Chains A and B, each alone.
Chain A
Amino acid sequence: MTLVFALAASALFGIGAYLVLNRDLLRVVLGIVIISQAATLTLIAAALTRGVAPIYPLRGALVSDPLSQAMALTAIVIGLALTALLLVLVLRVVRAYRAKGLDDVAEEEAEREARRERRTAREHEDEEAAAR
């Protein structure tokens, strides 16, 4: 049983990692969501015991571990909030750059950087000339 969980979690992590390395911003978000699911699945699998619900255990009856379920629940909630935050960020970036791919964003950044670099170099040259 644990092996099945481990295989499922590692497959999810692999798919997520592949998507994160993608150039499309939405796919990056999707990849992060899938990685978060891999972590949640691992949390559940970390304390996998079979038994009745632990709300009012009968004496001698086997109960399942409530702690790992509580942790998984918290992780899901946090993951959901972060997904929402990430989507808003992507939306704002897309609006600011009018572009969807990381490529376009990176290109624009590089251009601005190059312009800035040229400007500072020119300023420093001017200063040096003035100092002489």
Chain B
Amino acid sequence: MKRVIYSGAGLLLIALAFLVFNGLSGMLFTNARLDLTEQKLYTISEGTERILDGLQTPIELHFFYSDETAKELVALRNYARRVEEMLRAYQRASGGKLKLHVIDPQPFSEEEDRAAEFGLQAVPLNQGGDKVYFGLAGTNAEGSTQIIPFFPLDQEEFLEYEISRLVQGLAAGELPVVGVLSGLQLTGGFDMRTQQATPPWMVLEEVRQLFHIESLRRDVDLIPTNVSVLLLIHPKDLPEQTLYAIDQFVLRGGKLLAFVDPHSEADPGMGIGPGEFGEERASDLEPLFKAWGVRMVPQRALADAAYAMSVGMGAERRPVRHAGWLSLPRGALDQDDVTTAALENITVASAGILEPLEGATTRFTPLFSSSEYSMPVEAERFATLDNPETLLLGLEPTGERYTLAARIQGPAKTAFPNGIEGREKGIQESQSINVIAVADTDLLSDRMWVQVQDFFGQRIPQPWADNGAFVINALDNLSGTDALISVRSRGRFTRPFVVVETLQRQAENRFREKEEVLQQRLADTEQKLAELQSPDPEQALELTAEQEQALRQFMQEKVRIRKELREVRYQLNADIEALGRTLKFANIALVPLVLTLGVLALWLWRRRRSA
């Protein structure tokens, strides 16, 4: 035996044993994994288990994956294996209520027709026309279907959520009804400014996948009884009958998710260019809010230096921080409320301020709050704001943290104690109303939270903020289906360099004032120059010697100020670059240097000892 092992045959034996063992382990240990990620991104979560526990009727899942065709695509193959394993984990956890079929649809086969029937997308691989199916279709006992047309490879962290959402959709039988009353063109429309058709907002598409949407007209006089949550967006000058309908809906136990805004940038307004009045783009729910013990501070929007977002200013201009466009981090979101607890960040633009009224009977729980470095500004300023930097310049933090979104719960009375004209008195009060109010509508628009990628005609959302998740969370929570929430908000999109951001903020504060002073001096100098260069026509055309002297001085002054200004601009990033250099040094050269010195010292010591 020993002779066989220590021979060429032994080598072959070793290779074979290795291959066979790994082939077997690939088949046997499909579910033994240690998930070291902070949010257990690769493990079935409790929320999913709850959804699976709640299954009443059997669900069949058909996982279509063109195994044969995807031969050479290792990344896809690996991901497909992962999806399949996840689905098998679902099947195991469901206790037999969920059945999985794995299908490799061959070209021109019955299975391929089946996949197409479900509405799955085949993605062409190459010029030759090979197509890969990599999607999921689920059916329930009632025969309704839900699909994931294609699993995008770069969104592994949302895999569980997507599958759970599909299962949930099938389990619920009938989807909860969300009534949508919107003053913005959520369903897409025509943009007068760009002269182009606009696609439907992604947030609506997301809502549509989990809820049945019922569109309501702005003059509706009764919210239909089948509506369980009313999604009210940008209510601008609603007729009294509509306000009354909302009032009665909320008092009779209907749930409301309202988005109001002192200045909605998504609202095209009446005019075409910038410079119109802000009020046209404002919306409020004033009489109803008052009855519920809350108000949105009128005509005021919030500027916040700490949460200001960097916005691009077009080609060849450096991005500037916009104190009205805020990226609210975890710390700004209520960690105790199920709708916001697990979110990472929410972005808002020219948001308003919500406040509880004195003597309110309801409970006011802030969901989004500003930082202490914020202050209210005229909402109108946003309408004419050319340079967002001016906002930061004039910012004098009040030290107060303002509320941008809140949950309002508790006993409330009607806003229409006498009813309205032509209608009899309705419900007068409720033991507990359930409202979530958000003082910004822009967070709903695509550009604030999601990039939509066109993937062979399929619109694939790639969120970079949690705005969409918040809306769905809020609707889920209000409509009473919140098992999915814990699954949804597990992905963490970004882990930014906090220190660098702070440095940037400090540098900006430090140099802003200096820049302002220099800009002012430059403007003065330029004005004086202009005065000198265009002399009064009544005076002589020739410049006097003193005037020429002054002209030259001003010219020099201008050049100098411009140089200083450039310096200041350059300085802005100097600290950040310096930190970068220090870190590069620490990581590339520090340890090698210390090691080298240590070795040298050791060598010298040894030599001296032996000498």
Question: Is chain B a partner of chain A in the same complex?
Answer: no
